[in-house]
């Protein structure tokens, strides 16, 4: 989080130096703080709406509610709101700003594909995201990545087509460093986001296995989720990292370095191996 803020400040500082206007730096930092506060309060509603999730009726989805109620007692967490997504791809995600305002959404495909033990493993994984505060971390990270991308894009176009007309007097080192930061900033931020997401997935897998005391259940569920390669109908790059499996159906294979680098999720093979010790 600190590095993200450093990137925002660095981009804003370069813009203020380049255009000779210190207000740009103040505006960049101020706007990033506003975006952080907004993501804190509204991230869960945005994610639920983007996924097309509907509240899970307690009568229709009694088994789902019972499973979560049993797990939250063990985990010492309040019961989150439960949503269902009418989607054939097996998947699930958790969102919210804290355990008291959290939500879990599962697809109808997940409920159909998994048995009771496997479903319990997936729900324990999502509850672990809530207990580990991943839902807040990833919401704020997404906003920071998006902000860096937007401000870099704006400054890139302004630098090319306008802005400081007195370029002969500009510091060439500052110019090169600033342009490099504008070009590479979004890429670095995106890689950081993906790296954070992958680490939190491994942590949630481990925490979920500890919660159920049966890692084989989650491992079997991940195997089924990874085998389904069709993308979700409402797959979005903005929320892809929140799902237990890649919503685009691209669950990378072990050893594919470039694909792993730009993937929102670690390969299913590695996650399963970590759970069952192989």
Q: DSSP string covering 230-249, please?
A: SPPTT--TTTGGGBSS-TTS
| 118 tagged catalytic | no
Instruction: Give helix then strand counts, H and E, for the chain.
Output: 10, 4
The verdict on residue 36 lying in a domain is: no
**Domain CATH number, residue 88:** 3.30.2010.10
Q: What is the pLDDT of residue 244?
A: 93
The pLDDT assigned to 93 comes to 94
* Predicted local confidence at residue 4, as pLDDT: 67
- 175 falls within a domain: no
pLDDT value, residue 207? 95
pLDDT tens per residue, range 66-104: 999 999 999 999 999 999 999 999 999 998 888 999 999
Q: What are the DSSP E strand ranges found in the chain?
A: 54-55, 81-85, 92-96, 102-107
pLDDT in tens, 17-31: 777 778 878 887 887
Strand 81-85 versus strand 102-107 pairing type: parallel
In a domain, 167, yes or no: no
pLDDT above 90 (res 234): no
Res 171: pLDDT: 61
Q: How many domains does the chain have?
A: 1
% of the chain surpassing 70 pLDDT: 74
- Contact (CB, 8 A) for 4 and 192: yes
Q: Domain for residue 266, yes or no?
A: yes
User: Parallel, antiparallel, or unpaired for β 92-96 and 54-55?
Assistant: unpaired
Residue 126 domain boundaries? 42-147+181-276
* 37 belongs to a structural domain: no
271 found inside a domain: yes
Q: Are 44 and 95 in contact (CB under 8 A)?
A: yes
**Does the pLDDT of residue 194 top 90, yes or no?**
no
In a domain, 87, yes or no: yes
Is residue 250's pLDDT more than 70? no
Q: Is the pLDDT of residue 247 over 50?
A: yes
Instruction: Determine which one of 17, 118, 120, 126 is catalytic.
Output: 126
Residue 206 falls within a domain, yes or no? yes
Task: Provide the CA 124 distance to its chain's centre, in angstroms.
Answer: 18
pLDDT level of residue 44 (50, 70, 90 thresholds): confident
pLDDT band at 165 (very low <50, low <70, confident <90, very high): very low
Mean pLDDT of the chain: 82
């Amino acid at each position: 989080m600190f590095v993200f803020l450093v990137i925002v400040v660095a981009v804003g500082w370069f813009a203020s130096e380049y255009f000779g206007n210190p207000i740009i730096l103040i505006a960049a930092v101020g706007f990033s703080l506003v975006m952080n506060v907004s993501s804190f309060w509204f991230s869960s509603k945005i994610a639920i709406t983007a996924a097309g999730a509907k509240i899970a009726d307690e009568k229709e989805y009694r088994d789902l509610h019972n499973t979560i109620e049993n797990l939250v007692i063990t985990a010492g967490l309040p019961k989150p709101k439960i949503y269902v997504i009418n989607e054939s791809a097996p998947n699930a995600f958790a969102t919210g700003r804290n355990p008291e305002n959290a939500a879990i959404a599962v697809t109808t495909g997940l409920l159909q594909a998994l048995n009771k033990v496997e479903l319990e493993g997936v729900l324990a994984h999502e509850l672990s995201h809530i207990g580990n505060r991943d839902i807040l971390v990833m919401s704020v990270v997404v906003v920071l990545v998006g902000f860096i991308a937007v401000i870099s894009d704006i400054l890139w176009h302004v630098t090319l087509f306008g802005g400081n007309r007195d370029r002969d007097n500009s510091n060439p080192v500052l110019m090169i460093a600033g342009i490099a930061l504008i070009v590479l900033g979004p890429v670095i931020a995106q890689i950081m986001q993906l790296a954070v997401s992958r680490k939190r997935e491994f942590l949630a897998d481990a925490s979920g296995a500890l919660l159920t005391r049966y890692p084989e259940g989650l491992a079997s569920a991940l195997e089924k989720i990874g085998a389904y390669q069709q993308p979700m109908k409402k797959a979005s790059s903005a929320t892809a990292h929140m799902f237990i499996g890649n919503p685009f159906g691209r669950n990378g294979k072990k050893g594919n370095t470039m694909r792993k680098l730009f993937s929102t999720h670690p390969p299913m093979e590695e996650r399963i191996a970590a759970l069952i010790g192989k």
